[in-house]
């Protein structure tokens, strides 16, 4: 994956993110920087709802929105709230390896059967639900999606610094994505 920039030491953090909340996130998570105390969020993190990811950072350091595939299209009011009321000026968008939102079509039968079994839906209701919503949440490739979401949000919020990142589940580290 030549599109990923490993963060092994502080100098690996791209210059435009050093000494920013985005750089601090990388230092806290990857480099075990000693936690500071925060009373206000320094950034917004948009990341997947996947349960295999846990960020190492201080309390009160960030607002976090967790959605399938880190897709913030349907969470824009929450993003706007974090910027307007929360005062954040930085966003870290974090996709991850082996995301369940990639190739949703391959999970259709399981989705329908288990929603019926576990959720009490009829098979027909579950299939209609999948057919109506899967196209909205499908992502073809984690990195390509997060780069497009970064571009979209940069146009929407031109004064906010937005960084695309990748969480590798296999080593539990954050990587910058080369743009």
**pLDDT tens, 15-40?**
999 999 999 999 999 999 999 999 99
Q: Are 41 and 112 part of one and the same domain?
A: no
The number of distinct structural domains making up the chain is: 2
Q: What is the pLDDT of residue 175?
A: 98
Q: What is the pLDDT of residue 1?
A: 58
Q: How far apart are CA 30 and CA 94, in angstroms?
A: 14
pLDDT one-digit tens code per residue, 56-84 = 999 999 999 999 999 999 999 999 999 99
Q: Are 90 and 159 part of one and the same domain?
A: yes
Q: Are 54 and 90 part of one and the same domain?
A: yes
- Give 92's pLDDT tier (boundaries 50, 70, 90): very high
Find the domain containing 22 and state its range. 4-102+140-177
Q: Are 50 and 132 part of one and the same domain?
A: no
Q: Residue 90: which of 11, 24, 33 has the closest Cα?
A: 24
Q: Are 112 and 80 part of one and the same domain?
A: no
Q: How far apart are CA 140 and CA 127, in angstroms?
A: 21
> pTM for the complete prediction?
0.94
Q: Are 153 and 118 part of one and the same domain?
A: no
Percent of the chain whose pLDDT exceeds 70: 99
Spatial strand order in the sheet of 173-177? 4-6, 173-177, 161-168, 90-96, 43-47, 62-66
Q: Are 169 and 85 part of one and the same domain?
A: yes
Q: Are 71 and 132 part of one and the same domain?
A: no
Q: Are 134 and 152 part of one and the same domain?
A: no
Q: Are 97 and 109 part of one and the same domain?
A: no
Q: How far apart are CA 6 and CA 21, in angstroms?
A: 18
Q: Are 123 and 36 part of one and the same domain?
A: no
Q: Are 23 and 76 part of one and the same domain?
A: yes
CATH number, domain with residue 16: 3.40.1050.10
């Amino acid at each position: 994956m030549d599109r990923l920039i490993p963060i092994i030491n502080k100098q690996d953090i791209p210059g435009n993110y050093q000494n920013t909340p985005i750089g601090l996130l990388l230092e806290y998570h990857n480099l075990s920087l000693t936690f500071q105390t925060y009373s206000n969020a320094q950034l917004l993190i948009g990341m997947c709802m996947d349960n295999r990811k846990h960020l190492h950072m201080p309390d009160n350091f960030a607002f976090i929105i967790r959605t399938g595939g880190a897709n913030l299209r349907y969470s824009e009011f929450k993003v706007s709230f974090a910027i307007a009321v929360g005062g954040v000026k930085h966003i870290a968008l974090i996709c991850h390896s082996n995301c369940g939102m990639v190739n949703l079509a391959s999970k259709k039968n399981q989705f329908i059967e288990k929603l019926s079994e576990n959720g009490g839906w009829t098979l027909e209701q579950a299939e209609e639900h999948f057919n109506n919503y899967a196209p909205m949440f499908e992502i073809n490739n984690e990195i390509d999606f997060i780069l497009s979401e970064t571009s979209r949000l940069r146009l929407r919020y031109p004064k906010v610094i937005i960084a695309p990142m990748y969480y590798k589940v296999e080593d539990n580290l954050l990587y910058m994505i080369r743009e």
